Amino acid sequence: FHEALNMAAIWKLPVIFVCENNGYGMSTSTARSTAVKNIAERAAAYSMPGVIVNGNIFSEVAEASHQAVARARAGEGPTLIESKTYRHRGHSKSDRNRYRTKEEIEDWMSNRDPITLFESELREFGFIDNKGIEAIRDAVAQEIADGIEFAKASPSPDVRDTGNYVYTEQA
């Protein structure tokens, strides 16, 4: 992490670093494992902008990304975007989630769901109505169902293809 930020800053590389901060590193909260409150504060040590966004609000992520892309294209170097969000499930299948309360998880799922927030934003600015949202949901549900059927009907991949496209775009 340090070396990547440092070299990108020294060489003014057109790089956008995105830290998806879900509040936990495995089962340890960031408050207990990180010396700074916000990871984006670390950008100052590399003379690059550090931007904090609510990762559950599409327009915040889009605006910060747009500005970072503009900086990169203008030759102004890298940007570090910290996207604060939440991990609704455990770190892995074996994670029993004992370090979080059910209330905490429910609060995030009920009040901060990114899709629900985006739908509200689209309605608020008049981009879509309830009928339009339902049409999108129906289309997505159909696309998922079609994808599942396609996967079930497809042959299993050839084991010899495992290494393809790992380090190059050549098979």
Predicted confidence (pLDDT) per residue in 115-161, tens digit: 999 999 999 999 999 999 999 999 999 999 999 999 999 999 899 98
Q: What is the rounded average pLDDT for all residues in the chain?
A: 92
Q: Which residue has the higher pLDDT, 128 or 164?
A: 128
Mean pLDDT of 51-60: 96
Query: Do strands 28-29 and 24-25 pair parallel, antiparallel, or not at all (unpaired)?
Result: antiparallel
Phi, psi at 127, each rounded to 5°: -80, -25
- Residues found in the chain: 171
CA–centroid distance for 73 within its chain? 22
> Does residue 170 register a pLDDT over 70?
no
C-alpha neighbours within 13 Å on the C-beta side of residue 145: 6
Spatial separation of the C-alpha atoms in residues 15 and 9, rounded to whole Å: 9
Give residue limits of the domains in the chain.
1-87, 113-154
Work out the average pLDDT over 64-86: 98
Q: Is the pLDDT of residue 171 over 80?
A: no
Residue 89 has pLDDT above 80, yes or no: no
Q: What is this structure's pTM?
A: 0.79
Quick check: 84 pLDDT over 90?
yes
